[in-house]
Structure 1
Amino acid sequence: MAVIRDTSRRRQEISTLVRERGSVQVAPLAERYGVSMQTIRKDLHYLAKRGVAERAYGGAISADAVNVVAEPPVEAKRAISIEEKTRIGALAAAMVVPGESVVLDSGTTTLQIAHHLPDHEDITVLTNDLDILGALARKERLNVVMLGGTLRRRNRAFYGAQTESALSDLHVDKLFLGVDGFDLERGITTHFEPEAILNRKMVKAAGQVIAVTDRSKFGRVCLHRILNVDEIDDLVTDANESDGMQAAADRLGFRLHVA
């Protein structure tokens, strides 16, 4: 593509790109337009001031494509879709049987799975989430493994090289993957880059990948992609017929479980 140094035209094109794709990143845009990354950051700042996009780590997210452009604190997440998350958690927990090892990703929906898991000595649960650890610790027979690392207080979970290293030599039967954004075209995404990196490690360690989310996350796109929707094995959700999830499951090859 020819170098575009006209600022107005470039910003108009970036505005179109961010609306079409849901998110953009600084480095590819700098290469595309033959300008510095600092110039692109100024462009994204300009678009953010006009409500076209919200700045995020390494780029920007479309204000149109994302229902919540900034990650809410965990206290706010707990107050959203409480009944739906409880049903989803109970249904997902019923998928775990004695003899299995599972990973519970951080999140308020996976926390409900922890509450509903059977307290069986032949079930092993790994997690990087401090609140999930607390819920599991109250069970007397369940085997619990905490994945260490650096605490991120915003969502009370651990990330980093130590967390990732703990998964390197492990194989688990099932991963229950929490979701910030679930879009059939753009995939499963998150606000926080270290979380996306860790989640991909979890996916590699798991024999079965089960995404868990309430339907409010459908159509949301966050900056950091974890994996494509066709890479999951199961989806546990509260979808209704208007969401078209059964047709998507048939087309993309995952099993749909509706709570």
Structure 2
Amino acid sequence: MSATRDTSQRRLQISELVRQHGSVQVVSLAKRFGVSMQTVRKDLRYLSERGIMARAYGGAIDSKVVGETATEAPYEAKRTSHLDEKRRIGLRAAAMVNPGDTIVIDSGTTGIQLAEALPNIEVTVVTNDFGVLSALAPKSNVNILMLGGELRRKSMSFYGGLTVDALNALHVDKLFLGVDGFDLERGITTHFEPEAMLNRKMVENSSTVIAITDSSKFGKVCLHRIISVAELDMLITDEHAPEDVVQAARQLGVEVQQA
């Protein structure tokens, strides 16, 4: 088989894999086809330029899915959307924090509600979110480690290489992970690539990973994937969460609590 035909066949198979699974990863494709990751990236670039898929961190996602992805709401709108549900979720999450714990509160409006509900006890909180910092600052017994970096005003949180590097020396008991998109097949996703990179580092350095999200996020898919649903230890959501999603998550080994 000529190199040109081999390339054409591989790209055709990659297109079919994206159609079947919704997304693909560079590493797994390189192993599957026995080629270098550089070759796979060229294939994905070729296919994305023709509208077959859209590039994402570490791979690609079906272009049809991208067309259906959730758009990021303005920060003030997110602050007030589903506020009652977020408050209940925040209260339930705060009840899981014990004196002496070291936790990460991820950026997001549900994380701010967790920070508001957190009692003034001796815990260490790591965060990159300005709203979380503001909520915790008056609580004198809470030790706060603020991750620096570049401020993204659209979410009032910090991202970048400095933010990721700051996590390298840390290991925490619990991560409370905010969610932009939650889909059983495509996993936990977000709008912003640096956020996905930071979240993966948070997951890597945490003993327990707890997603905190209201039910409006279920079935939504954003461009950048963080982790699969099966990689969660727990999901805290509201009482309106679809029963099929709750049961499927439990079957994947995720403990689900509804506030």
TM-score (norm 2): 0.79
| Contact 1:23/1:221, CA 8 A, preserved across alignment | no
Cα 1:243/1:63, change in 2 over 3 Å: farther
- Residues 70 and 181, structure 2, Cα contact 8 Å, conserved in 1: no
Q: Distance in 2 between matches of 1:131 and 1:242?
A: 29
Q: Deviations over 1:67-98 (max 9, x none)?
A: 65322222221132111111111111111011
Question: Which residue number corresponds to residue 174 of structure 1?
Answer: 174
1:191 aligned partner: 191
Give the distance between the partners of 2:149 and 2:62, measured in 1 at CA.
Answer: 28
Report the identity percentage. Answer: 52
Query: What's the counterpart of residue 158 of structure 1?
Result: 158
**CA distance in structure 1 between the partners assigned to 2:66 and 2:19 by the alignment:** 7
**Partner letter of residue 105 of structure 1?**
D
Say yes or no: does 1:94 pair with 2:101: no
Measured after TM superposition, the shift of residue 59 of structure 1 is: 6.1
Per-residue CA distance 1:32-63 (angstroms, 9 max, x = gap)? 8x8793x645533xx8xxxxx99988866656
Query: 1:141-152 alignment to 2 at 5 Å?
Result: 141-152=141-152
Q: 2:130 corresponds to which residue?
A: 130
CA distance, structure 2, for counterparts of residue 102 and residue 31 of structure 1: 40
The one-letter amino acid paired with 1:226 is: I
Q: Secondary structure at the match of 2:50?
A: helix
Q: Output the CA distance in 2 between the equivalents of 1:80 and 1:19.
A: 33
Aligned residues of 2:107 and 2:132 also touching (Cα < 8 A): yes
Question: Which SS does the other structure have where 2:158 is aligned?
Answer: strand
In the alignment, which residue of structure 2 is the partner of 1:108?
109
What TM-score results when the alignment is normalised by the length of structure 1? 0.79
Aligned partners of 1:232 and 1:254 also within 8 Å:
yes
Mapped to 2, the partners of 1:119 and 1:80 lie a distance apart of 26
Q: What CA distance in whole angstroms lies between the structure 2 residues aligned with 1:62 and 1:83?
A: 35
Please state how far the C-alpha of 1:249 moved relative to its aligned partner.
3.3
Where do 4+ consecutive residues of structure 1 move more than 2 Å? Answer: 1-5, 16-26, 34-37, 39-44, 53-70, 239-243
User: Match for residue 235 of structure 1?
Assistant: 235
2: CA distance between counterparts of 1:25 and 1:99?
39
Q: Is the 8 A contact 1:61 1:222 kept in 2?
A: no
How far apart, in 2, do the equivalents of 1:21 and 1:73 lie?
30
Between the aligned partners of 2:66 and 2:219, the Cα distance in structure 1 is 7
Contact 1:65-1:220 at 8 Å conserved across structures: no
Equivalents in 2 of 1:206, 1:198: separation in Å? 13
What's the RMSD between the two structures over aligned residues?
A: 3.3
Q: Take 2:63 and 2:44, find their aligned partners in 1: how far apart are those partners?
A: 22
Counterpart in the other structure of 1:72: 73
Shift of 1:173: 0.7
Which secondary structure does the structure 2 equivalent of 1:253 belong to?
coil
